[in-house]
Amino acid sequence: MTRDVHLYNQGKNALALLVHRYRQRGSYRIIRDPEGVISLWAIEGYERSPFSVSFADRGRISGNMEDMSPEFVRAFIEYVRKNGVPAA
């Protein structure tokens, strides 16, 4: 499967903005539900830990955005845009 390098770079830029927004602290899971809606969940007990993130889509969980589908990445970029963090 061919990956859209530009799309995944936009996703990484959106993630970098999210890291900056949350001041590089806490552990989070970014989840795409069956309807395609993205939500961000803070993992309790890790508020003071260095920033970490995992992605969940269709039962697949990964710490690497490149493992996620292009649809997931597009939805994530849109989520960042809509939630007050300007995506690159």
Would you say the pTM of this structure is higher than 0.85?
no
In a domain? residue 59: yes
Given the structure tokens 């589908």, which residue do they identify?
69
Complete edge-to-edge strand list for the sheet that includes strand 52-57: 38-42, 27-32, 52-57, 60-62
State mean pLDDT over 15-25: 82
State mean pLDDT over 26-50: 88
Of residues 88 and 4, more confidence is placed in: 4
In a domain? residue 47: yes
When pLDDT is cut at 50, 70 and 90, the band that residue 86 belongs to is: very low
In a domain? residue 87: no
Distances from the Cα of 74 to the Cαs of 17, 46, 86, in angstroms?
15, 27, 14
Its domain, for residue 15, covers 5-82
β-pairing, 27-32 with 52-57? Answer: parallel
Q: What sections of 1-88 are H helices per DSSP?
A: 5-21, 70-82
In a domain? residue 13: yes
In a domain? residue 32: yes
In a domain? residue 88: no
In a domain? residue 35: yes
